[in-house]
Amino acid sequence: MSNTLNGAGGLTSVPALLHRNATQFGSAPAYREKEFGIWQSWTWSQTNDEIEALALGLLDLGVAEGDFIAVIGRNRPYLYWSMMAAQMVGAVPVPLYQDASAEEMAYTMSHCGARFVIAGDQEQVDKVMEIQGELTEFEAMIYLDPRGLRKYDSAKLTQYSAVQEAGRSKRAALEPEMKARIAKLNYDSTCVMLYTSGTTGKPKGVVLSNRNVIETAKSSSEFDDLRQTDDILAYLPMAWVGDFIFSVGQALWCGFCTNCPESADTMHTDLREIGPTYYFAPPRVFENQLTNVMIRMEDASPMKKRLFDYFMGVARKVGPSILDGNPVNLIDRIKYQLGEFAIYGPLKNTLGFSRVRVGYTAGEAIGPEIFDFYRSLGINLKQLYGQTEATVFITAQPDGEVRSDTVGVTCPGVELKIAENGEVFYRSPGVFVEYYKNAESTADTKDAEGWVATGDAGFIEESSGHLRIIDRAKDVGQTGNGHMFAPKYVENKLKFFPNILETVVFGNGKPYCTAFVNIDLTAVGNWAERNNIAYASYQELAGHPEVLSTIQSHVEEVNASVAQDAMLSDCQVHRFVVLHKQLDADDGELTRTQKVRRRIIEEKFSDIINAMYDGSDTISTTTEVTYEDGRKGAISATLDIRDAAVQTVGAKIAAQ
């Protein structure tokens, strides 16, 4: 391997790292998967053998250098090995989303011109079969789980184990070619190509080089002190850049063990059994787990419930400080220790978080109370900010500096700059090579000096040096007073209240900010039931004076919190309306992924918006609605417009 000696100590490619691990940590577990009720495990040297056998088999099938090999299926060691085997023969692995429809797969696979496919099971094989007519370059498919596939025409199909078998038996003949191809790999060879989810337009193929992946894995592993003995659970889609970095990049760099669940349904059981030390989940996973805990505590015996409530109170008070290593008085420490014994320990065990040393959440804003719940239990949950184009890491929170409203400081090697309009730009060794076959988009996103636009607006908090993301850059505007207007920032704060399901804040170019609010029928309905308030419809409950007062108090709380922020203090909500109908994707007000469509809402409810700015106290309106069966109807209502108290921030603004 002497001819690859450059970069990170000669470790400039995935095969090189694999070789190092097989030599250095040969008998340490590299991959585990639960199958037939038992955790099967493979050491690094076994893993190396498996991958080499597959790589030789791929050579036997005729894989050429630079070929694209699509990999589709749930998280399984065999599919991670497929990606590494592809790299060993100089091909480029392209993991695809397993739940993608056949048409979506047709687009990505024909875009990259994949010659080979490695599919997990019959479901994926069927999808490829369905679209193979459109795939001109497609030649052969390798499948993992033979169930249901025995009757398939075998001309293009080969079983994974058969490919490995062929590779093993022809080892002598094929090995020199494999070695030669490995030797050709360097820091600038393509490591992987990942398709972005394509929320705006067609998916784009992000090409990441070995440099991107290995440099990022190296610096992020050092940042969080990841160790060879760590364990992670690989359960997020393999096509997502995060999973690639955690389960391939960092796993190879550190030599830690990647654990694959038995099936998607058993993820929580498997999580508990493995007890990962390094864990990632999007906010909704944490939210669901918290809700489950709370529901089960409601059903617990009164004694247990009292214990839980008492110790959770203690945890909320001192837990985060203890985690951050701040001074805490002795009595509280003793109480916390008791709580750890009686409540937190068993609870963490049930959740599968007993051993978590580093936990991350990212992707969207996480509710502060959810975040604090986990941190108060002593789970080191942190936030990071990243994207596929950056090979994940842009910023992350260092231990001891964790807050729910920032996304941390720049990761090692990353430079950050904030443009005039607030858009965040970064430059790092992880910056992607290009969008495959799309020079135009590449040039739009990445400038000549390597700065990449994130599309998000944010700012660096002066007191802590942490980055705070406030909104998508295109939604950020200016209020009538010339201050920054970032609707999502305020909306997120409002939505953290369980009573508020959805909200839209207006104020771009307006003298002050106003808001639409949708109540959460479950939470508010529950409250109405407990307080003997009868209601016949969503509309009636939404117009109830007590409900309006509750929402008003929430809005005022948010105003107080927004006022703390010098830059965004002008985004306080002066007036608001609780809408008479729920914003609905059927009416075009939300996208199918439940994101608000501002322009359409502004048009549709322009009468209400005008009323909020002309000083009226009520507004009568009629709105067209679409029922689920496609029929149209109209609902009319007279809505109260409420004024919310705002904090004066003149002093702070003057001081700037």
Partner 1 sequence: MLDQADGYMTADGRQIGPVVMEMKNITLRFGGVEAIKNISFDIREGEVRAIIGPNGAGKSSMLNVISGFYVPQDGQVLYKGVQRPQMRPYQVAQQGIARTFQNIALFEGMSVLDNVMTGRLTHMKTGMFSQALWKGRAEKEETANREVAERIIDFLEIQAIRKTPVARLPYGLKKRVELARALAAEPSLLLLDEPMAGMNVEEKEDMSRFILSMNDEFGTTIALIEHDMGVVMDLSDRVVVMDYGKKIGDGTPDEVRNNQAVIDAYLGVAHDE
Q: Name which of residues 38 to 77 contact partner 1 (CB under 8 A).
A: 38
When asked if residue 482 is in the footprint of partner 1 (CB under 8 A), the reply is: no
State the minimum distance, in angstroms, from the CB of residue 37 to partner 1.
Answer: 5
150 touches partner 1 by CB under 8 A: yes
- Whether the CB-CB separation of 73 and 117 falls below 8 Å is answered with no
CB of 628 to partner 1, least distance (A): 19
Instruction: Write down the least CB distance from residue 350 to partner 1, Å.
Output: 14
How, if at all, do strands 92-96 and 116-119 pair?
Answer: unpaired
d(CA 477, CA 552): 25
Of 266, 350, 438, 539, which lies in the binding site for partner 1, with binding defined by CB under 8 A?
Answer: 266
Helices 77-88 and 171-184 pack at an angle, to 10 degrees, of: 80
Buried/exposed 580-604: b ≥16 CB within 10 Å, e otherwise? bbbbeeebebbeeeeebbbeebeeb
Nearer to partner 1 among residue 147 and residue 631 (C-beta):
147
631 part of the interface to partner 1, by CB under 8 A? no
Please tell me whether residue 475 binds partner 1 under the rule CB under 8 A: no
Question: Going by DSSP bridges, is the β-strand pair 409-410/392-396 parallel, antiparallel, or unpaired?
Answer: antiparallel
Q: Minimal distance in Å, beta carbon 268 to partner 1?
A: 9
Nearer CB in complex with partner 1: 261/507: 261
If the CB atoms of residues 146 and 345 are measured against partner 1, the closer one turns out to be 146
* x/- letters, 397..436, toward partner 1 (CB under 8 A): ----------------------------------------
Residue 269 found at the interface with partner 1 (CB under 8 A): yes
In the beta sheet, which residues pair with residue 637?
621
Size of site (CB under 8 A) for partner 1: 13
- Site for partner 1 (CB under 8 A): which residue of 175, 262, 332, 643? 262
Q: Choose one: 32-40, 75-83, 345-353, 598-606; the region binding partner 1 (CB under 8 A).
A: 32-40
Q: Within a 10 A sphere around the Cβ of 473, how many other Cβ atoms?
A: 18
**Integer Cα distance of 110 and 91 in angstroms:** 16
> Rounded to an integer, what distance in angstroms lies between the CA atom of residue 202 and that of residue 195?
10
Q: Is the dihedral of CA 596, 289, 519, 542 positive or negative?
A: positive
- Taking CB under 8 A as the binding criterion, the range among 31-39, 363-371, 528-536, 646-654 that sits at the site for partner 1 is 31-39
In Å, how far from its chain's centre is CA 209?
Answer: 22
CA–CA gap between residue 237 and residue 99 (Å, rounded)? 9
Decide: is 155 part of the binding site for partner 1 (CB under 8 A): no
d(CA 629, CA 259): 45
Per-residue CA distances from 399 to 187, 352, 389, 408, 460 (Å): 31, 21, 25, 10, 19
Does position 36 interact with partner 1 (CB under 8 A)? The reply is: yes
Establish if 133 lies at the interface with partner 1 (CB under 8 A): no
Stretch that binds partner 1, among 29-37, 63-71, 379-387, 407-415 (CB under 8 A): 29-37
- CB–CB of 571/470 below 8 Å? no
- Of the two residues 263 and 291, which places its CB atom closer to partner 1 in the complex? 263
Site string for partner 1, 486-525 (x = CB under 8 A): ----------------------------------------
* Residue from 2, 3, 37, 532 binding partner 1 (CB under 8 A): 37
448 binds partner 1 (CB under 8 A): no
Return the SS3 of 396: strand
Q: Which stretch binds partner 1 (CB under 8 A): 261-269, 363-371, 384-392, 539-547?
A: 261-269
Q: Which residue in 35, 99, 586, 617 binds partner 1 (CB under 8 A)? A: 35
Answer yes or no whether residue 265 interacts with partner 1 by CB under 8 A: yes
Dihedrals φ, ψ of 617, to 5°? -100, -25
Neighbours of 9 (CB within 10 A): 10
What is the closest distance, in whole angstroms, from the C-beta atom of residue 264 to partner 1 in the complex?
A: 9
Asked if residues 369 and 495 have their Cβ atoms less than 8 Å apart, the reply is: no
In whole angstroms, give the CA distance from residue 598 to residue 491.
12
Residue 263 or 618 having the CB closest to partner 1: 263
Q: Taking contact as CB under 8 A, which single stretch among the options 33-41, 210-218, 327-335, 475-483 is the one that binds partner 1?
A: 33-41
The owner of tokens 């290593």 is 325
* Least distance (Å) between residue 320 CB and partner 1: 34
Is 553 a binder of partner 1 (CB under 8 A)? no
Name the 3-class secondary structure at 336: helix
Interface with partner 1 (CB under 8 A), residue from 9, 148, 198, 588: 148
Closest approach, Cβ 245 to partner 1, in A, equals 28
Under the binding rule (CB under 8 A), the answer on residue 151 touching partner 1 is: yes
Distance between CA 498 and CA 313 in Å, rounded?
Answer: 20
Q: Nearest approach, Cβ of 485 to partner 1 (angstroms)? A: 47
Closest CB 604 distance from partner 1, rounded Å: 36
Q: Cite the beta strand spans of 400-512 per DSSP E.
A: 409-410, 415-418, 423-427, 434-435, 452-460, 467-472, 477-478, 484-485, 500-506
**Could you tell me which stretch among 49-57, 146-154, 359-367, 387-395 binds partner 1 (CB under 8 A)?**
146-154
Give 160 or 373: the residue with its C-beta nearer to partner 1.
160
Q: Angle at Cα 484 formed by Cα 482 and Cα 488, nearest 5°?
A: 145
Which residues are at the interface with partner 1 (CB under 8 A)? Answer: 35-38, 147-148, 150-151, 262-263, 265-266, 269
